[in-house]
Amino acid sequence: MEMDFQKALLDVDKSLSTDEVEALSFLCTDILSRKPASLDCASSLFSLLMKEDHLSAGNPQLLVELLLTIQRPVILQNIKLSFQLPSPSTLISPYRKLLYRLSEQITEEELGEMKFLLKDVPRRKLEQKSTLGVFLELEHLDLINESSLEYLETLFKSVCPVLNEDIRLYRKEIWHPESQPLTVISSQTPKPFYRTDFRGDKTPQLPLQPSVNPSKSPNGEMASLDTVNPEKNNPESQENDEVLCDYPMTGKRGVCVIVDNFDFSKSYHKLNNREGSKFDRDALKEVFQWLGYEMYTYLDYNAAQIKSLFACIGQQDHSQYDSLVCCILSHGMEGKVYGVDGNLVEIKLLIECINGEKCPSLIEKPKMLFIQACQGCKQQYPVHPDGIEDETTRISADAKVVDVRSPVIADLLVGMSTVPDHVSFRDKLCGTWYIQSLCKNLVKYVPRRVDLVSILTKVNFDVSSMTDASRLKKQMPQPAFSLRKRVVFPVPEKPPPEIGALTKDNP
């Protein structure tokens, strides 16, 4: 048995990259009695662990936990060893796992920014350092530790603020009064936090998956690491102490429908063509195709065709899909969108086509509707609403659209390009501010496992910071939703598409 285990360790060593060896060494920093020096192979690390009785053929739990933490469960399958774990304890500290998760989400560009901002660390010590190496330097200088991460939070505020959410969840995890240690079971792979995209040919009816690793409380109920109950004797506080779940995204992703109305030359209302809309259509198609959706694009639909299309969507069987995405790019008026014939369609009627009553196969699945259009004609500075083009600038206003701040169906998200009663803008050479920012932020934050509502918050920030060359026009998007869980897209295996540089010119 010992010989088989030694051979298995050698096979593991051969399967790991240099970065993964560094990650394993980092994760074992608190386990070994002396800090592991720079190791060039996993075998050296395994030898140290075995010498201190942390790893053996009869106790392979640490090896299992290490490989699952760095998202290499396939290695466990390849070495074909039966790991019967004796206890539900976790050997790697939550703090060490947090730092590893953070390192996996930091890009090379962001790492460079971090090094530039680290005035408290000698520059020479940061050269050629990986993110994990930088974290170790901060620990050596006592700038961060298990109970003090404020320095890192301040750093992330300038580099990548979304990472501070991970630190917030970590604090809730270690302070949760009823939390139990994470159970690592050899037959189960924990939900990946960075690279994941399992797709089956059939979509089984799976239980809703928690957004963080759950554990069992003493009474057998699920205890969340994503919530904290500081007032144990407060019934209202206990009632709200529930697991925050993600919508299941384990089967086929779903259908993405794009309605792009560009040519209004035959409209009986005076509506100009929507110059630049092609850039939005192309960006949406690339991004949602990258996310795994089946794409269907419809150009220049009149009002009757739009109604018929949504009715058809609602009549389809979506049982094999995880979700639905619909995008409408058009002129409109408050509560309605225009067909290219100049007739209006009520947004609420389109939503009714995909609710649980009309489309039972979409019950408890996220339905996402993104609308690029104005919601009114108010503006702080002179613009031409209702689709009237301003010939003096390439920035144009689209038409008004519905206010759905009180969604009438569950599991719905409507991403509005602007707040009620105000216009939204379209760049004739780049596309709309809203759609371009949406696509850019999906590409940036989906690989970091950020949920959709948080991404739309970042879109709000980006678009609200944009303006035209005159610095007079402003816009504020507004998502509205009746979601009951988080929408977290699985990270695609393919590299993300490149979206236009609109937000570089308009920060």
Q: How many CB atoms lie within 10 A of CB 265?
A: 10
Residues above pLDDT 70, as percent of the chain: 69
Give residue 189's pLDDT: 39
Helix (H) or strand (E) holding 425: strand 425-427
| Fold of the CATH domain 255-381+402-482 | Rossmann fold (3.40.50)
Bridge partners (DSSP) listed for residue 422: 378
d(CA 244, CA 206): 16
Per-residue pLDDT of the chain (507 residues; tens, 9 = 90+): 667 888 889 999 999 999 999 999 999 998 987 776 667 789 999 999 999 999 988 888 899 889 988 988 888 878 865 544 434 457 899 999 999 999 999 998 899 989 888 888 887 888 889 999 999 999 988 899 988 999 999 999 988 888 988 898 888 777 643 333 333 333 333 334 333 333 333 333 333 333 333 333 333 333 332 333 333 344 444 444 455 789 999 889 999 999 999 999 998 888 888 888 899 999 999 999 999 999 999 999 999 999 999 999 999 999 999 999 999 999 877 778 889 998 999 888 999 999 988 899 999 999 999 988 654 555 534 333 434 445 555 555 564 444 443 334 789 998 766 544 445 555 667 778 888 999 999 999 999 999 999 999 888 888 877 665 666 655 566 668 899 999 999 999 899 998 864 333 333
Give residue 5's pLDDT: 83
Give residue 418's pLDDT: 53
**Tokens at 328, concatenated:** 């409408």
| Burial class of residue 24 in the structure, from the number of CB atoms within 10 Å of its CB (0-12 exposed, 13-18 middle, 19+ buried) | buried
d(CA 264, CA 461): 32
Give residue 81's pLDDT: 55
d(CA 459, CA 337): 22
Give residue 357's pLDDT: 85
Give residue 427's pLDDT: 65
Give residue 468's pLDDT: 58
DSSP conformational letter for 163: G
**Tokens at 106, concatenated:** 């930091």
Q: Where are the domains of the chain?
A: 1-92, 115-175, 255-381+402-482
374 is catalytic: yes
Q: Return the amino acid letter for 75.
A: I
Q: Could you say which of 160, 374, 377, 430 is catalytic?
A: 374
327 is catalytic: no
CATH number listed for the domain at residues 1-92: 1.10.533.10
Task: Read off φ and ψ for residue 480, nearest 5 degrees.
Answer: -130, 140
Give residue 473's pLDDT: 59
Bridge partners (DSSP) listed for residue 370: 327, 415
What's the whole-model pTM score?
Answer: 0.52
Instruction: Answer positive or negative: Cα dihedral of 29, 32, 38, 43.
Output: negative
Q: Could you say which of 160, 331, 422, 439 is catalytic?
A: 331
How would you label 222-261 residue by residue, b for 16+ Cβ within 10 Å and e otherwise? ebbbbbbbeeeeeeeeeeebebebbbbbbbbbbbbbbbbb
**Tokens at 173, concatenated:** 């995890």
